[in-house]
Every structure is written in C-alpha cells, then in structure tokens.
Amino acid sequence: MNTISIKTNSGGEATITENQFEEFQSNFRGSVFHAGTHGYNQAREIWNGMFDKKPALVARCVGTSDVIHAVNFGRENDLEVSVKGGGHNSAGTAVTDGGLMIDLSLMRRVTVDRKNQTARVDGGCLLGDVDYETQLNGLAVSAGIVSHTGVGGLALGGGFGWISRKHGLSVDNMISAEVVTADGRVVTASATENEDLFWGTRPKEKNSSGRSRKKQKPWGSMSV
C-alpha cells in the first residue's frame, strides 16, 4: 500500500499516505482495515446484506480512546465518516461507501448496578448482551424484540419492545449518554448536564398522532 483514496465531506477525494495510515494505526488500540487486509470484509458487514458498501478505511474500536482518535482523524482530514454500532442498521447508513467507518461492534461491555436498577451499556452492545447481564440481577430494560439489534441505534430511535406498554420506550428510560463530539471531546449528556445535547439524542416527545407521549416511570434505566 502506497496511498489510499478516500471520500471527503465535500464529495471529493483525499489521499491518505502510507505514513499517515501507519501513524493512525500506531495510536489505535483496536484494528484499522483497508481493502485487501485480513478482516476487512468482516468488519464492513452489517446485518442487512442488501448493502455491499466498501469503506476506504474501517477503524474497529475497542475503547473510548479509539473512538476519539478515529473522530479526530476523520475531522483533520475532512473525511466522510459513518458509525457502526451493533451492525443491525437496516438502512445501510452505518457503512460509508469510500469513506471512514468507525466500528463500535467490539465494544460490548454491560455493567449493571442492581441497587440503583441501572445499566451502563457500551456503544456496540446488542440487546442480547443487555438481557444476559440484567437477567442475572433479576432486572430487565425496556428494549426491543430482536436480540441481535444494537442498543445504541434502538434507543436513539425510540426503542419499542416486550415491556414498552408498561415501562415506556428505551429512550424514555435513558438516563444519560457519553458522547464523543465532532471536535473529539468526551461529554456526558443528561437532564442536568449538556441538556441540549441530551435533548438532541431523544426523539420528540410526541407520537405519530402528534399527541404527547405518556410519561412512564423508568424501570431498569439505561445509560448508553
């Protein structure tokens, strides 16, 4: 590999040199793939096989520091960026065609606080991961129906499942979100901290009929 051509935000192309790639990779705890490297095809896959997009680079993260590093690399080089969480993305937008894909699918840690009835969930977690850990503590989170759905995408889109009629949508139970912003900062968004950003992660408080949703009492609440 001498250079990699990669799509920019403006719709043009940038060139990533071998030195740039190696520097990016050397500061990355996870794996960075490009076409032709072992693991590239597996890393770019999502659940919906209708989409066969080919990112120029895939940054498979194993922690928050990797996410920050990938976001900074994308911003500094004006790259088109997409984010893959659990990989269940039905519309195919998790994978950029020719840009940089930030892959969170290995970040699947779930930490349950039984006393406070909360769960802290990594960005690549699937519903099955959350169910497995919460059930060990006699708890459940209001989530979806399909166990291989990603928690992040589900919650940020609303999240309707088996116990939603009694306990509300997944997003109704979201206490806070740890967010890596476009400028590479890690911030917490909640009702009391970065409130505007927290509001931005939640669908409007109205249902499809235009009426306000009934507020539900959180149970087994979730911090994503």
Q: Under a CB-based contact definition with an 8 Å cutoff, are residues 61 and 106 in contact? A: yes
Please name the fold of domain 3-103: 3.30.43
Extract the tokens encoding 17: 């040199």
Q: Give the residue extent of every domain in the chain.
A: 3-103, 110-223
Instruction: Inform me whether the pLDDT recorded for 114 exceeds 90.
Output: yes
Q: DSSP class of residue 72?
A: H
pLDDT band of residue 36 (cuts 50, 70, 90) is: confident
Instruction: Inform me whether the pLDDT recorded for 201 exceeds 90.
Output: no
Extract the tokens encoding 134: 């919460």
Instruction: Inform me whether the pLDDT recorded for 204 exceeds 60.
Output: no
CATH, range 110-223 = 3.30.465.10
Extract the tokens encoding 204: 């409007």
Residues 6 or more apart in contact with residue 41 via CB below 8 angstroms? none
Q: Distance (Å, rounded) from C-alpha 163 to C-alpha 110?
A: 20
